[in-house]
Copies of this chain bind each other. A is one copy, B any other.
């Protein structure tokens, strides 16, 4: 950590800073420049995993001292999720009736299905189409988060039962969202890959509960989370000893009103650089407009995503949830060969 003093900082200011650092067992290295003094703090960045968080708190404290202009963090609030901690890519392995699906390996994994499970007929039609198009995992929400208390919030336990049935019928693994600590066990019994949604990215008790479930976890980025905050959320799961985490970019909130979210395509290669965890992309949430989903799916694969999460529906016009961003089954079937062509062109 580096503390930059103000141009008008006095020796008393500097003494107070040194005192605060010594109290915490840290060693200041003082450099007096032509204009101002800069103090390096040694000790804060080394040692156990906890140092990262400690450094964050300390930085906030030092920034409030008189005479201090700014504090420049050198360490991050995550460690297990970083490339520095593990250079080789993590491969997340999801068990399905048809065998293991590997996220983070050479292949591009397709996860498709309806936004919400609505009925046996709807789910089975979507699941069969998903498999025919090349998907190996079936997405579908039994518990749905909702902005308004008056919106459809999913079929709950009955939805889980339908997912189990579709899983058995098609051999696809199941990806489904868990909304609360109390339902982690119930949802884990059905899901092959547990989804934590954008609204819950910073819900620490839930992150720790899914971590302890032992299941692989798909962690969506929060609406307005920075990439460092997202990696710190992943760190909550990793710190429970569960290393099977997949990051899912699903768009961020910006000022642009014509799209529901702005898919952050930069995040894909950047996460690959900062972290060893697999990265997938959700063009349905990331755009909110069906007509854009195909192009953005191809963009995600071209940018290096390890997988794609797609909302498809046998009758999007009749969907109870997010119909406007769901692909019809024919549109999905037409898109998949293009996905394969782009993946192949890039050697995947």
Which residues of A pack against B, CB within 8 Å? 2, 4, 6-8, 16, 20, 29, 31, 33-36, 38, 40, 42-43, 45-46, 49-54, 56-57, 60-61, 63-65, 72, 74-75, 77-79, 84, 145-153, 179-182, 199-200, 202-205, 222-224, 226-229, 232-233, 235-236, 239, 252-259, 262-270, 273, 286-287, 289-292, 294-296, 298-304, 316-326, 338, 341-342, 344-346
Rounded to whole angstroms, the CA-CA distance of A11 and B79 in the bound complex is 24
- CB-CB < 8 A to A75: which residues of B? 35
A149 interface neighbour in B232, B295, B320, B325, Cβ under 8 Å: B232
Taking a contact as CB atoms under 8 Å apart, the answer to whether A270 and B259 are in contact is yes
Q: Give the interface centre of A179, A255, A304 by most chain B CB atoms within 10 Å.
A: A255
Contact check, B256 vs A227: say whether CB atoms are below 8 A apart: yes
Collect the chain B residues with CB atoms within 8 Å of residue A64's CB.
Answer: 290, 316-317, 319, 323-326
Total copies of the chain:
4
Separation of A255 and B262 alpha carbons in the complex (Å): 11
Q: What is the CA–CA distance of A257 and B257 in the complex, to the nearest angstrom?
A: 8
A60, B226: Cβ atoms closer than 8 Å: no
> Are A181 and B181 within 8 A (Cβ)?
yes
Cβ-defined contact, B224 with A223, below 8 A: yes
Contact A46:B38 (CB < 8 A) given known A203-B203, A345-B341: no
Question: In the assembled complex, how far is the CB of residue A41 from the closest CB belonging to chain B, in whole angstroms?
Answer: 10
A214 CA to B318 CA, complexed, in Å: 39
- Contact, CB under 8 Å: A224 / B253: yes
- Once the chains are docked, how many angstroms separate the CA of A196 from the CA of B123? 36
Please give the distance in Å from A232's CB to the nearest CB on chain B. Answer: 5
Q: In the complex, given contacts A56-B150, A257-B257, what are 9 additional A-B residue pairs having Cβ atoms less than 8 angstroms apart? A: A33-B74, A54-B151, A149-B232, A222-B223, A224-B224, A253-B255, A256-B264, A269-B295, A299-B300
Do B291 and A60 touch across chains, with their CB atoms under 8 A apart? no
CA of A256 to CA of B263 in the docked complex: distance in angstroms? 12
- CB–CB A302/B304 < 8 A: no
Asked if B292 contacts A266 (CB within 8 A), the reply is: yes
C-alpha spacing A38/B6, complex, angstroms = 20
Complex contacts, A40 vs chain B, CB 8 Å: 31, 33, 38
Q: With A and B bound together, what is the CA distance between A35 and B47 in angstroms?
A: 9
